[in-house]
Structures are given as C-alpha cells and as structure tokens.
Amino acid sequence: MGFVRAMTVPSTAAAVAARFGFTMPLPATGWAAGRAIGADPMPAHVYPATGEPIGAVQICDAAAVDEAVGAARVAFASGAWSRRSVQERIGVLRACAARLRNAGEELAALQMLETGIPFSQAMTGHIPRMAENFEIFADIAATQAGRTFQQVPGYVTHTLRAPVGVAAIFAPWNAPLVLSSMKLAAALAVGCTAVIKPSEYTPFSVLRMVQILEEAGLAPGVVNVVNGPGAITGRALSEHEDVAAIGFIGGTETGKTIMRAAAGRLAKVGLELGGKSANIITASADLEAAVDGSLLAIYTSAGQQCLAGSRIFLERAIAAPFLDRFQARARAIRLGCPLDPSTEMGPIAHPAHLARILDFVAAARAQGAQILAGGERVHAMGPGLWLEPILALAPSNDLTICQEEIFGPFATVQVVETLDEAIARANDSRFGLVGYVWAQDIAAIMRVTDQLETGTVWVNTPLVRDLRAPFGGWKQSGLGRDGREGCIDLFTEEKAVMTPIGPVRMRKLGAP
C-alpha cells in the first residue's frame, strides 16, 4: 500500500514571498546594535518544499562576533537593560510577546521557507509558544525572590541575584523561533544582554524576531545576532572572553565542543542535547490513545526534534494490534505543501540531513531490521526534500538505528516480553532526554516513571511542556535544566549578604 499524500502542488518560494510581502532573496545578515553585520556569503539556502534558493547567510567572522559581543557588553554596562527596574523589564517582555503574536503570520512564513515546517502547525504551536516564552519569564521575573537565613546568632543572611552579563544563545534549526526565544526570554528576564547564533540553516526567522523585539522596546545592542557555520561563527562566540554564560540547544558532539571552549574561562554552560527517547506501550495501554500519541511523538515536525519518541517498545500482548494500526496510520500521513492546512508532515529541512536519514535506512537493512513502512524519497512531489514516514522492526537494541539519534521521521519498534525488559532496553542508551509510557495500570506507570533514566517522562500523553518546570537530559542528553530554577541559575550569580542585627563584638588586634 502506498503513502497517501496531500495532492496540492507546493507553492513556490516566490509565491510565498509575494503573499507575505517578503523581498527575495531573503536577508540573512548578522545584527548588532541595530544594524546589519556580516561578510562573505555561504551557499544559498533552499526552500525544502521545492528546492528553490531563497537567500544566503552572510558569515559573521571573529571580528563580526567581537562587534556583536561588544555591543551586548556596552548595553549591559550602560544599565539600559540590566539596571532597569523589574517592573519596567516585565513591561517590555510583555510588549515583546504581544508584538510577536501580531507578527505571527510573517514569522511562521519565514520559518516555513527555511525549515519546511507547515504554516498551520507553526501558527497553532510555534508562534504561541514563542510569545509564551516571554510571558512566562515575565511572570517568573515578577515573582523571583531571594532567601533569608537566621540560624547564625546575631546575624541575618539574605541572598541576591545579579545577571551574569552577556549571554550567548545557540539555537538549532528544527524549531528556531521557539528554541531561540526560550533561552533569550530567560536571559532578558534577569537582566542579561545577549548574542544569538541561529543555525546557518535557519537565519531568516530569528533575525526578523530580534528586529521585532527592538520594535517592541528593547534598546539596540541588548539582543544581537551572529550568523554563520559553527566552525567559524560558533567557535568565535563560544570562545569569546566577554561571554559569561552559554545556553546551547543542539547536537551532543557540538555541545561537547562548546563546553570545552567555555571551560578555559569557566563560563557557565547549559546544554540541551540529543535524544533517543523510549516510548513504552504496556499491555494495559489504551491502544487507540497509544497509537495516536506515538504517531505524534515521532512524526510531528517530520521527526526533527530531540524529544521524538523514536524507540517504541511493545509488550508482546499488544504488539500485533498496535503495529497493524500504527502502520496503516503512518502510511496515511498526508505530505504536501507547507501552506496547505491539510498537510500533516512537511519536507526534511535541508539536503544533507535527508541524505543522512537515508543512510540510516540503508544501515537498518544491512543490520537485519525489517522496514515495515516508508524508507524512500518521494520523487513524485518534485525536487523538494520529501521523505516517506519510516517504521522499522528491530531484532535487537544494539542496532545503529536503535542507538544513534536519527532526527527524522524514523520510528524503530522492538517487541519485549515484560515491562522489566522494556525498561532495561529503554535505559540501554547513552541518551536520556525524555521518555513516554502508555498504561492504565498505575503500578506499571509508577515503575516506569521511577526507573526510566530521563529528565522528563510523559504518561499517557505526548509533547506537553510547562515552561516553569525543569527540562533537560540525563547522560549525554545535556547538562543543566531549562525552566524557572535552571534558567535563573544559568543566567545569574547568587550573592550572600550577612548583616549583624546589633553591635558586633570583635577582637581588637594590635590594641594596647
């Protein structure tokens, strides 16, 4: 049975630009102190749905990075943001959220052109979440308080928090607006200034977002953008002496490189890295809900998300009926124009990544996995980066497809005999970002949530976040946490102040 596809012919990039008022090619410069910066261009980026060139990144070399960090440092030292009252910062953050919501269609269209993420999914998910990042961290700023200790006789000790200075924020290509704004909102809420480095694959939406933040009231220089590849721009930013804290979201190996660069000057680092998340379907699961949730967990955003439920573990009692339903639904996923509201899965984001996913298909076959669905590029839809949703039955957890993060619409299934076996295989991974469990048996739920080696566990639901709660990974999935406490720890330094409550009797050294 073939895959069902939305039959709408993908709109051209030029047509999208005309509809939303963009000028082609799209600008992809850096941005420092309210003006464009950049040097030699990279090869043109293409619209993943059609393969058309849409614009080229202007590389920010070490000198341009120094200019951007310098602008952030001057803005911080001036107190234009860092010493504004909390109430004033809260007001600006809320104005930023409102302005971003109003510009939602423009930003969703830009992100669609650079990533292929369907417009309707951006409007219902990415745009609201981007705005909520600023709203929630405005709330956090409003309620942030120090601590008081009175255990030492005659003294009161209280704590203060101070912004660290310039924060460097590295954002990945899979959800540039959501993920860049999340750490940025946290840094701004506590008074830091920032330099953002988006992925070289997704420079357009982040640049426009920062311009909108300035339109909403942020002074030029408070937030700056540097564009370019990691080997040039990323390295210069992570090694810069005036960067006090680094928030990185992306691949594990790149995260290790950034951590080594920061270690030389003991800069603070928060890393949200890769995942190979286990999705455990127990014998007591609500089968319909488990199928619905498992499809969303792996095929949302074409599987290009670190928290994708890419390893499905099925207790044998429900394996056959689950697989029958899951395969049929996976084959019916509608691929099509990212502007078509009926489209359920867009293209792969860029050519090199499509080639990488197809390499994993070849490895799966070579290692004895059975491809139950998908695995082929969709040439009938034109020159865009279209790929069928993939489902593979793995005979062992040792296969490459069960251990390496594929970051695509590629689900692996393993059938297990017991819940203990499912938990053991789930934990047999160098990653530990999130996990899923589907069960009606409360004892099974409690065992999985207690024993799963992950930073987050979703019970009978996929892909829900409370931005106030900690989010991050175990093992090679990261270091530190997003959320209220984790972000405050990353972007501030804590100071203890001891004050006597009466006269202090001191020894008089050297007195007669």
Strands 45-46 and 53-55: antiparallel
User: What pLDDT shows up at residue 214?
Assistant: 97
Interval 72-114: pLDDT, tens: 999 999 999 999 999 999 999 999 999 999 999 999 999 999 9
Catalytic residue among 96, 192, 306, 402: 306
- Identify whether 306 is a catalytic site residue: yes
What pLDDT sits at residue 2? 46
CA distance 512 to 507: 12
* 13-17, 366-370, 390-394, 410-414: segment of lowest average pLDDT: 13-17
- pLDDT at position 142 is 94
In this prediction, residue 11 carries a pLDDT of 82
Q: DSSP letters along 104-116, please?
A: HHHHHHHHHHHH-
Angle at 116 between CA 23 and CA 104, to 5 degrees: 60
Q: Which of 265, 271, 236, 234 is nearest to 252 (CA)?
A: 271
Residue burial 455-487, b: 16+ Cβ < 10 Å; e: rest: bbbbeeebbebebeeebbbbbbbbbbbbbbebb
Q: Are 111 and 205 in contact (CB under 8 A)?
A: yes
Of 52, 132, 135, 272, which one is the catalytic site residue? 272
Instruction: Indicate whether 293 pLDDT > 70.
Output: yes
pLDDT in tens, 443-470: 999 999 999 999 999 999 999 999 999 9
pLDDT for res 40 = 87
| Helix, strand, coil percent values for the chain (each to nearest 5) | 40, 20, 40
> Given pLDDT bands bounded at 50, 70 and 90, which one contains residue 7?
very low
pLDDT confidence tier of residue 9, bands split at 50, 70 and 90: low
Mean predicted confidence (pLDDT) in 52-60: 95
**For residue 311, what are the β-bridge partners?**
278, 412
On the question of pLDDT at 408 being above 90, the answer is: yes
How do beta strands 474-475 and 431-432 pair? antiparallel
Band of pLDDT at residue 10, cut at 50, 70 and 90 = low
- How many angstroms separate the Cα of 298 from the Cα of each of 113, 291, 431, 432, 463? 22, 11, 16, 16, 10
Q: Residue 39's pLDDT is what? A: 87
Gyration radius from the chain CA atoms = 24
Q: Are 314 and 412 in contact (CB under 8 A)?
A: no
Q: Report the candidate in 67, 437, 448 with the shortest Cα–Cα distance to residue 226.
A: 67
Residue 1 pLDDT greater than 60, yes or no? no
% residues pLDDT > 70 (the chain)? 98
For CA atoms 174, 177, 180, 185, give the dihedral sign: negative
| Per-residue model confidence (pLDDT) at position 285 | 98
Q: Which residue carries 């990353």 as its tokens?
A: 490
Q: What percent of the chain has pLDDT over 90?
A: 95
Give me the pLDDT at residue 45, please.
94
- Nearest to residue 86, comparing CAs of 22, 174, 146, 38? 146
